[in-house]
């Protein structure tokens, strides 16, 4: 009986005491009140930088890719990036390669892109085309946007595959 009345008094005291929003109180072993401070951390992806030397068509392509991107992948990343580049006017003709891993060579050889000396996808400027190897033979390709990356899906985080290169086109 004494244990239950002590437990009831503890519960009343617990509800009467003001507690900060980040503290959680609960009954631990042997009827003691224990309190833990809970910290929440939501990681934020780094925001992309703008490079004034970039071709404005690539900025438009990044915006188009971001607006057309789906919440989840349809395994058509290179197709979506090609359509965004063509719709923005960054390329004159539809790129002919089938696999995303071939995108860098195609863009440099036929469309006037250059490979940037960037090895961290988060450092790529808005509008840059990022090419990855992995995911079987096809690889992955995406455009850098202001809030992350876009291809057939959008994400604030980079692709988990190995980065082959970052490609861009500069205005004349």
Does any domain span residue 65?
Answer: yes
More confident residue, 73 or 45: 73
Task: Tell me how many domains the chain contains.
Answer: 2
Does any domain span residue 48?
Answer: no
Does any domain span residue 162?
Answer: yes
Does residue 156 share a domain with residue 114? yes
Question: Do 66 and 145 touch, CB atoms closer than 8 A?
Answer: yes
- Smallest Cα–Cα separation from 105: which of 69, 78, 136, 144? 78
> What is this structure's pTM?
0.75
Does residue 64 share a domain with residue 31? no
Does residue 117 share a domain with residue 60? yes
Does any domain span residue 20?
Answer: yes
CA torsion, ordered 157, 125, 153, 109, to nearest 10 deg: -130
Does any domain span residue 23?
Answer: yes
Does any domain span residue 12?
Answer: yes
Q: What angle do CA 37, 42, 45 make, to 5 degrees?
A: 155
Which domain, by its residues, includes 87?
Answer: 56-168
Does residue 139 share a domain with residue 87? yes
Does residue 141 share a domain with residue 65? yes
CATH number for the domain harbouring residue 140 = 3.90.1720.10
What pLDDT digit, counting tens, does each position of 49-101 carry? 899 999 999 999 999 999 999 999 999 999 999 999 999 999 999 999 999 99
Question: Do 132 and 140 touch, CB atoms closer than 8 A?
Answer: yes
Does residue 66 share a domain with residue 28? no
Does residue 99 share a domain with residue 29? no
Does residue 156 share a domain with residue 72? yes
Does any domain span residue 47?
Answer: no
What pLDDT digit, counting tens, does each position of 87-139 carry? 999 999 999 999 999 999 999 999 999 999 999 999 999 999 999 998 778 99
Does any domain span residue 45?
Answer: no
């Amino acid at each position: 009986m004494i244990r239950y009345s002590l437990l009831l008094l503890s519960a009343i005291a617990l509800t009467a005491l003001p507690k900060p929003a980040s503290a959680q109180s609960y009954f631990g072993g042997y009827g003691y009140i224990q309190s833990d401070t809970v910290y929440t951390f939501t990681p934020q992806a780094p925001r992309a930088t703008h490079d004034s030397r970039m071709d404005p068509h690539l900025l438009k392509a990044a915006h188009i890719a971001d607006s057309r991107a789906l919440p989840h992948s349809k395994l058509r990343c290179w197709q979506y990036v090609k359509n965004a580049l063509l719709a923005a006017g960054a390329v004159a003709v539809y790129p002919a390669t089938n696999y995303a891993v071939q995108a860098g060579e195609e863009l440099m050889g036929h469309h006037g892109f250059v490979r940037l000396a960037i090895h961290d996808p988060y450092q790529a400027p808005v509008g840059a085309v990022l090419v990855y190897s992995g995911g079987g033979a096809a690889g992955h390709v995406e455009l850098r946007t202001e809030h992350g990356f876009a291809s057939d899906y959008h994400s604030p985080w980079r692709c988990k595959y190995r980065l082959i290169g970052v490609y861009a086109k500069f205005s004349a």
